[in-house]
Amino acid sequence: MHPGPKPVKLRAFSRGLEKSETCAHYINVAPAGQSVGTGRERAVNGMENTGKGVQILEITEDQAGQRVDNFLLARLKGVPRSHVYRILRRGEVRVNRGRIKPHYRLRAGDRLRLPPVRRREAGTLRPPAALLERLERAILYEDERLLVLDKPAGVAVHGGSGLSFGVIEALRALRPGAPYLELVHRLDRDTSGCLLVAKRRSALRALHGLLREGRVDKRYLALVRGAWPGGPHRVDVPLRKNVLASGERVVRVSEAGKAAQTEFTARWTGEDVTLVEVRLLTGRTHQIRVHAAHAGHPLAGDERYGDAAFNRALRRAGLRRLFLHAWSVALEMPGGGPHLQVTAPLPADLLAVLERLGCMTCKTDFG
């Protein structure tokens, strides 16, 4: 019997992060279906012009309950994400004449002040056909309320910060007739795997409720440094998110942060590496990566929180990205919906790395 490929031995591991940015042109426009005029006049869709392009929107019962930043991101399609948060920080967006934080939850009857904004020209938003075809093949589950997508690594979930489009913009281009498509949660650009997308506003509210109540079981697979046998190992330390002057988000362990809990369980151990199954008990930004590093077992390929020497060694084994994959999601939709459990097989590039490291059963177990 052929013995299979020789395991790669890990030694001491250059740090490098390749970025590609896409330039886009913008034009001054009002939100879709609106007109930018002067004087006070009632516009369509409950919008009111107040001079110099400023508009007032009265929040309906159906729109109530969502965060104001998410509301703006959904409504102002084509506006860079960074610009949406900038007008919130500067107080240009107001509710009932008062400044609000991005996490403010809208209520029925609220009057939201919206300043003039700039959108990308429509021609710049069309994703390439190859990406659209790839996403069509990546749909793992779909019904009338939601779909679950196996997000490819290297594709952002939304446009902004130099990106003309992400998964959600590509899905909308793929299904131009769909009345509603919104992200339920996010995955980092380099993370692959299960991503939930709501097809109705009511489904988005229900899924957000399940997430807040801890009733969505999300499991990940990650390769970490060192032997970390057994489990589950629970890491329970608060995390605080900081935004650098460059706009980059960095998360640190801090007593002043928000509560965060993660469970790690070994699924395979090799030479100075462990493949762990990760269960998220909360959903903080970069939670898995920061908790693993805090526990002394940073993720392979993590250029921000990881170990440079370890990353170099894994590059010799063929790893070209962060080894983090959203493996499965399980939930039960309210209102008598069926119990849903969806699994995204470990991608071929990550399986090849595990095989080179000596895991001969990983393809069967996780592929």
Residues 170-198 have pLDDT tens digits of 898 888 888 889 999 999 999 999 999 99
Q: Is the pLDDT of residue 28 over 60?
A: no
The string of pLDDT tens digits covering residues 74-91 is: 888 778 788 899 999 999
pLDDT tens-digit map of 255-311: 999 999 999 999 999 999 999 999 999 989 999 999 999 999 999 999 999 999 999
Architecture of domain 216-367: 2-Layer Sandwich (3.30)
pTM over cut 0.75: no
Question: Are the folds of 125-213 and 216-367 the same?
Answer: yes
Domain spans of the chain, in order of start: 26-123, 125-213, 216-367
Q: Specify whether 302 is catalytic.
A: no
Q: CA 309 to CA 313: how far, in whole Å? A: 6
Confidence check: pLDDT of 160 > 80: no
Q: Enter the CATH code of domain 26-123.
A: 3.10.290.10
> Minimal CA–CA distance to 225: which of 276, 261, 265, 260?
276
pLDDT value at residue 13: 40
Measured in degrees and rounded to the nearest 5, phi and psi for residue 365 equal -75, -35
Whether the per-residue pLDDT at 215 is higher than 70: the answer is yes
Q: What is the CATH number of domain 125-213?
A: 3.30.2350.10
Three-state SS at 52: coil
Separation of alpha carbons 192 and 258, rounded Å: 25
Which DSSP state fits 365? H
What pLDDT does 244 receive? 72
Choice among 188, 190, 302, 307 that is catalytic: 188
How far, in Å, CA of 69 to CA of 183, rounded?
Answer: 13
Distance in Å from the first CA to the final CA of the chain: 22
